[in-house]
Structure 1
């Protein structure tokens, strides 16, 4: 077993899984035109891409991986350094590039490397938000090092099909390449990685296009050229889908039926009738949430206890009411939030609890110690409805009939137009709205669907039905792509 395949099995180094042999070989064959072409891999790992072309250059930040690549591939020029700081000063240019950039989340992408990446992107008109992962910056920076007419191909996370910052990247690519293609792959390229991965291919640096070509395949097999895709006008994708490519997995008839329903005069978006936001952040969940038994033992009065929906799994029906709370109590769930006003004298029982060992630990947590009154949880609301933030099979919506609050693991829905909302929410289980949840949300590792507040606000309700079976089949198809 060679080192690359061994590393692919054993795991992750610096946020990166090493590229499978058949994928690396295919991507290199897509971009190399002649034996004299210089190939760049900006995050070469142990040399999976470089092994397939004799005139190659690799940059790798991890010293061990760089050493392994150099030992395996003496023909390649490999440098152990940060790619962005290298890219900002190098005079080298390349005919082609291929790679699998590390999927470093924004929380870990920082320091001089992130500053250099931002500088390169900004200099070329690409403004990526502070919440962007590292991979779009790798692609932009690599593109700037290509000669006119150059080509590049990358393994990218499937979030290229839905992330807001992917739109800025695609804006840049269509303005700088003659052909931009995304290949969506249903089966996992990396079976041991929860992240789904797709392929990005760009041809003829220095050109321009009005289109994004999209292809989707069940599994990725070795191929000498990209799968045949369908051209979609980029301006239309931005108008109809806000630049999201994931809807293109659906057949055209399903997309057209959905857009037609969403454009009906009497169609409603969730955000038209409600404000959707996250619940409170306690800062110390185990301390601030009590079982009925524990609250009774402590002698804490009911006036300081609020029933709370702590997790999406609590939403098992269409209503959260007193019988639901009674079930949590019988199961001895820690569902009671300790809600203490920030000002005024403390009840003796509450004061005693705050001074317990658990209280001393809780007040040292970041969220608690930065509050003016560490013991008072801010942002506690009792919404009209609860909406699942992350869901598996179905996205659940439940009416709040017991004046409960919710944590930030659940969305708090506060109705601002009760008449319109009563009509709209009556269609929650309709084929159109079920598909809308899939299209407006986005897949998360492990087969979950995530709905950010802004995404949830775009869920569509339309009173006039039609095309139900087509919409249901489209929903089933999208669910199959998130491996639920």
Structure 2
């Protein structure tokens, strides 16, 4: 592969920074999320320490890291800093940015238009690097091209690393980056929050920990890429002393509130690696002391995981919810009769309590909430129904993988039956269990809960109450995944791990009173009041009551970091 810029006569083309060149859809397709210059500058100032340092940016995209590196090298006294830079990128448009940020005369043979996983250290004319810096692309494994799958497999085989089949492209970039570092070299990367919690990331963390003298990861509460269309939170990974004996057997994790705090920390480097870890293992937003207290309380008597009590399944998968679920008035405009419609749980914002009743269903229908699902027979004969189904574009139907798996494309019922309850799995205010008094079903906007046969109705109420306590809400923050939008998401497997306090000495009458009180508070929009009611009812023994102030403060801290 020859250099993209080598032997070019005219490198002064002005790039088009408009939507047509680098819109969000294009950047998502190639996994590129451009890093703010303030962050690029902080990482460059940390990683570049001598005017002779060589720097590699494996996917330079918008070139903010290269721009920051030029400024840093020049500030250290290098009069031709561009000559110390190397990199590659698959996107031709990235080279338009490059031409405006790096002197053309000094970069011939330094930058290549190719996939970094195909890029070899031998292509760097100066040899190994002092610093690899950048923001690797975020692309799901399922979206890899055949070529990417092949090179990704070669990358981990060469490194002797075993990665889960669902590993994101950034993980392979991190592994490959190590091949370019000289002894004592440094790594400064902007990574997604999944670096700290994804199953496949454990192998990456272990590899990094074994290769460097010092490793630190900083979770940023500030959302860097929300306007770029990504839901990921951000982790800054700093590793120095490549090939040297590690000072610690763990990756130190700290939560920083903002890029300003990150810049201040970089300016005062090195930090003391022997200080007490300030973030609990996981996504890095939970204070360590709070997480450890929660862990100790989880072993007390009468603590149960949700998996001891129930199974959790995703809701019905429609394949195209706007087509199959509408409001009553919308169906009337399509002239679909009521006999072909069935109530289905609307979005959780319309069900604010911890129970759904027939009265709620009637109100939703009357208020024209989108809660009426198309419920078709196997062989529709009704003329208007047949006409409506015929409006679905054939090419779109043929491409829909969900439809292709069904015997009848327009039927999305399944064999699991009516659930006992619903689980709100993505929300800014934490999870809820909603008891299904109305005996209805839901789409996959909620999970469905099926309690074990031995769980009584009263125990179901106690479980719903316990789910809303500070203790279990904090458990959700520890186990769940914060999204870039500020919401917390729990996978079904994570929901089953939630710990619930279910004391045996609460009477049926007291449980009903507390249940109704919490349900009413939630329906009134008083989420904090509902949680305090649940706490007061369940956590009145000495040890749990004494821990509540710390748990409450910890929950407020992690939510303030998550919801920005």
Corresponding position: 1:43 with 2:59: yes
Tell me the residue number matched to 1:271: 307
Asked whether the equivalents of residues 181 and 200 of structure 1 are also in contact (C-alpha less than 8 Å), the reply is yes
Question: Structure 2 vs 1, CA of residues 188 and 162 (structure 1 numbering), >3 Å: closer, same or farther?
Answer: same
State the Cα distance separating 1:391 from its structure 2 match. 0.7
Tell me the residue number matched to 2:223: 188
Corresponding position: 1:57 with 2:86: yes
Tell me the residue number matched to 1:356: 387
Give the TM-score, by structure 2 length: 0.74
Question: Which of 23, 36, 44 is the aligned partner of 1:20?
Answer: 36
Q: Distance in 1 between matches of 2:501 and 2:439?
A: 29
Corresponding position: 1:477 with 2:557: yes
> How far does the alpha carbon of each residue in 1:96-132 deviate from its partner, in whole angstroms, 9 at most, with x for none?
2111222334454433134312320243233333433
Q: Distance in 1 between matches of 2:117 and 2:56?
A: 13
Tell me the residue number matched to 1:172: 207
Asked whether the equivalents of residues 29 and 225 of structure 1 are also in contact (C-alpha less than 8 Å), the reply is no
Asked whether the equivalents of residues 307 and 403 of structure 1 are also in contact (C-alpha less than 8 Å), the reply is no
Tell me the residue number matched to 1:460: 499
SS of equivalent residue, structure 2 residue 294: helix
Question: Which of 276, 282, 295 is the aligned partner of 1:259?
Answer: 295
Q: Distance in 2 between matches of 1:35 and 1:285?
A: 57
Q: Structure 1 regions of 5+ residues with no counterpart? A: none
Tell me the residue number matched to 1:86: 119
State the Cα distance separating 1:276 from its structure 2 match. 1.0
Asked whether the equivalents of residues 121 and 179 of structure 2 are also in contact (C-alpha less than 8 Å), the reply is no
Q: Distance in 2 between matches of 1:425 and 1:166?
A: 33
Asked whether the equivalents of residues 476 and 498 of structure 2 are also in contact (C-alpha less than 8 Å), the reply is yes
Q: Distance in 2 between matches of 1:7 and 1:228?
A: 41
Tell me the residue number matched to 2:523: none
> How far does the alpha carbon of each residue in 1:415-467 deviate from its partner, in whole angstroms, 9 at most, with x for none?
11415655443312211011112121111121111111111111111245331
Asked whether the equivalents of residues 31 and 153 of structure 1 are also in contact (C-alpha less than 8 Å), the reply is yes
SS of equivalent residue, structure 1 residue 447: coil
State the Cα distance separating 1:473 from its structure 2 match. 1.4
Structure 1, 93-102 or 28-37: larger mean CA deviation: 28-37
> How far does the alpha carbon of each residue in 1:147-172 deviate from its partner, in whole angstroms, 9 at most, with x for none?
23221111112332333332221122
Asked whether the equivalents of residues 255 and 284 of structure 2 are also in contact (C-alpha less than 8 Å), the reply is no
Question: Structure 2 vs 1, CA of residues 178 and 435 (structure 1 numbering), >3 Å: closer, same or farther?
Answer: same
Q: Distance in 1 between matches of 2:463 and 2:427?
A: 21
State the Cα distance separating 1:90 from its structure 2 match. 5.0
Q: Distance in 1 between matches of 2:201 and 2:272?
A: 19
Question: Structure 2 vs 1, CA of residues 26 and 324 (structure 1 numbering), >3 Å: closer, same or farther?
Answer: same
> How far does the alpha carbon of each residue in 1:235-280 deviate from its partner, in whole angstroms, 9 at most, with x for none?
xx9xxx7x52425x4151x122201111224311112211111111
Tell me the residue number matched to 1:284: 320
Corresponding position: 1:68 with 2:97: yes
Q: Distance in 2 between matches of 1:244 and 1:447?
A: 17
Structure 1, 427-436 or 122-131: larger mean CA deviation: 122-131
SS of equivalent residue, structure 1 residue 95: strand
Give the TM-score, by structure 1 length: 0.85
Question: Which of 12, 31, 34 is the aligned partner of 2:50?
Answer: 34
Greater Rg over alpha carbons, structure: 2
> Which residues in structure 2 correspond to 1:198-347 (within 5 Å)?
198-207=235-244, 208=246, 209-221=248-260, 222=263, 223-224=266-267, 226=269, 228=271, 244-246=282-284, 249-252=286-289, 254-289=290-325, 291-292=327-328, 294=331, 298-299=336-337, 301=339, 305-340=341-376, 346=379
Q: Distance in 1 between matches of 2:475 and 2:270?
A: 28
SS of equivalent residue, structure 1 residue 179: strand
Q: Distance in 1 between matches of 2:204 and 2:18?
A: 30
* Greater strand share, structure number: 1
State the Cα distance separating 1:353 from its structure 2 match. 4.7
SS of equivalent residue, structure 1 residue 216: strand
Q: Distance in 1 between matches of 2:484 and 2:493?
A: 20
CA RMSD, Structure 1 to Structure 2 (Å): 3.2
Tell me the residue number matched to 2:485: 446
Q: Distance in 1 between matches of 2:38 and 2:381?
A: 68
SS of equivalent residue, structure 1 residue 333: coil
State the Cα distance separating 1:354 from its structure 2 match. 4.7
SS of equivalent residue, structure 2 residue 184: strand
Aligned length: 465
State the Cα distance separating 1:227 from its structure 2 match. 6.6
Structure 1, 104-113 or 87-96: larger mean CA deviation: 87-96
> How far does the alpha carbon of each residue in 1:64-95 deviate from its partner, in whole angstroms, 9 at most, with x for none?
21243144213342222111112498575323
Question: Which of 423, 428, 434 is the aligned partner of 2:473?
Answer: 434
SS of equivalent residue, structure 1 residue 129: coil
Q: Distance in 1 between matches of 2:193 and 2:389?
A: 42
Q: Structure 2 regions of 5+ residues with no counterpart? A: 1-13, 74-80, 503-538
Q: Distance in 1 between matches of 2:270 and 2:305?
A: 36
Q: Distance in 2 between matches of 1:232 and 1:271?
A: 37
Q: Distance in 1 between matches of 2:267 and 2:336?
A: 70
Corresponding position: 1:134 with 2:169: yes
Structure 1, 326-335 or 107-116: larger mean CA deviation: 107-116
Q: Distance in 2 between matches of 1:405 and 1:255?
A: 35
